[in-house]
Structure 1
Amino acid sequence: MGKSKFVAIYTDLCEKIHNQLIAAGDLLPTENELCEQYQASRETIRKALAMLSRNGYIQKIQGKGSIVLDLSRQNFPVSGLTSFRELAGHSKDKWQTTVHQLVLIKPDDHLKMLMNLQKSQPVWKVIRSRSVNGEAVILDKDYLIQSIVPMLTADICEHSLYDYLENELKLKIGFAKKEITVEHANEEDKRLLAMNHDTHIVVVRSLVYLESAEFFQYTESRHRADKFKFVDFARREHQ
């Protein structure tokens, strides 16, 4: 089975856990039952379960199976590469994406340094705000190398950028390097976000690579500080 199959199974199980159709403390169905339920191979099911385990949804217990962990305190993950659409799909709130800018640019010296570009390669610049229940609380600024992502449209950026990259362009997104800082809100933040009386913003900067270790995207995600708690799930790797 292809990557999209185990990701689809992973997403479906995530939704069931978030909607408490499978409650914290419950055991997931056995691998054989999941194979039958999803009409998938054991290898595909194991990939989906490994992804659930890696992202903190389940804990495998020898002789018992996979137990669902309590997610009630998790909100916005720092680790992992989860698209905004996937996160919003697990939320009970109403989320909306607004595309403010989509343009092909020649990067300036600062952007070339950030993206480690050797020459002025054309780069897509995408600016989007994310609103929850009508209030803009996240500003995402994405820069993607055009030689890897030849075409983008506003509809793609409003719908799901990663869905397009993975399922249409067949790119295999591998990993990201991230840094998190707290900074003074700038004029763009104040113009595009509902800042109220907030003066600071939480900024998550990411360098995103394909599975081949080829760099293709720089992202700056700017969050209104009062709206999100950032969480991580750490798993001890045994030797």
Structure 2
Amino acid sequence: MTKSKFRLIYDELAQEIQKGNRKANDLLPSENELAETYQASRETIRKALKLLSEHGYIQKVQGKGSIVLDISKIDFPISGLVSFKELADKMGKRARTTVVSIERQRINEFLKEHLQTQESEEVWSVVRVREIDQEKIILDKDFLRAEIVPSLTKEVCEQSIYAYLEKELGLVVSFAKKEITVEEPTEEDLKLLDLEGYSTIVVVKSHVYLDDARLFQYTESRHRPDKFRFVDFARRVR
């Protein structure tokens, strides 16, 4: 299937930004200049720029033009419950998920403490690697109570577990308690991630609750430190 003209222009500009040929805060050429360069209509150029904006490569600023964004770091909200799929949808082809393993297992002492459950319970253990711009930079380790989530498939885990819980099982994911630490990489981190020689890894540990206050998930999201900004909005209480 032949790609449309605006897709080809998008791909070329996206690659230039990924390779650093167009740097953060640079202005892209005007629509007229791009139209001349690519021998395309302004409408085609607008479609390509719209896709670049949707995938987080540029920000269109009225009166200035299209400004290249810093794609070396990805904003991850601290207070919000945002799935990687929701983040990936904004990034288009830049993001990909690989399911390393999925299994139902008897709870151990470590998970018993984190999920506050009985020894007789079972949990789903899901390990996924998140890839952005062809670099493996996040290792997600999820543990979900099988009593609440009775079935889980590789296909669901490749897409969005939260979307499955909410749309298929009718559950309402409500809030999470999070802890952020900086740790030494484990052998598993070194094996599964492209750590580029980094000697530390940022770990976000989350205890996630449903709207009826049931704790149903414990997650460790392990991030390569150079790729993320953890952001939040703070208001002073008077």
TM-score > 0.5 by shorter chain: yes
Looking at structure 1, the residues matched to 108 and 207 of structure 2 have their Cα atoms a distance apart, in angstroms, of 17
Q: Secondary structure at the match of 1:124?
A: strand
Match of 1:186 in 2: 186
Match of 1:170 in 2: 170
Looking at structure 2, the residues matched to 92 and 236 of structure 1 have their Cα atoms a distance apart, in angstroms, of 36
Q: How does 1:85-96 map to 2 (within 5 A)?
A: 85-91=85-91, 94-96=94-96
Q: Per-residue deviation at 1:119? A: 2.5
How many corresponding residue pairs? 178
Question: Structure 1 residues 217, 206: closer, same or farther in 2, change over 3 A?
Answer: same
* Cα root mean square deviation, aligned: 2.6
Looking at structure 2, the residues matched to 115 and 207 of structure 1 have their Cα atoms a distance apart, in angstroms, of 8
Q: Secondary structure at the match of 1:194?
A: coil
Match of 1:104 in 2: 104
* TM-score computed with the length of structure 1 as normaliser: 0.68
Q: Per-residue deviation at 1:23? A: 6.8
Percent sequence identity is 49
Question: Structure 1 residues 152, 92: closer, same or farther in 2, change over 3 A?
Answer: closer
Q: Per-residue deviation at 1:98? A: 0.2
Residue 210 in 1 paired to residue 210 in 2? yes
What amino acid maps onto 1:99 in structure 2?
V
Gaps of 5+ in 1: 1-14, 26-70
Contact kept, 8 Å, 1:112 with 1:120, in 2: the verdict is no
* TM-score computed with the length of structure 2 as normaliser: 0.68
Looking at structure 2, the residues matched to 123 and 74 of structure 1 have their Cα atoms a distance apart, in angstroms, of 31
Contact kept, 8 Å, 1:171 with 1:210, in 2: the verdict is yes
State the 4+ residue runs in structure 1 displaced beyond 3 angstroms: 22-25, 71-74, 235-238
Looking at structure 1, the residues matched to 74 and 122 of structure 2 have their Cα atoms a distance apart, in angstroms, of 38
Looking at structure 2, the residues matched to 140 and 111 of structure 1 have their Cα atoms a distance apart, in angstroms, of 16
The structure with the largest alpha-carbon Rg is: 2
Match of 2:8 in 1: none
Q: Per-residue deviation at 1:92? A: 5.9
Contact kept, 8 Å, 2:108 with 2:119, in 1: the verdict is no
Gaps of 5+ in 2: 1-49, 63-68
Q: Per-residue deviation at 1:24? A: 7.6
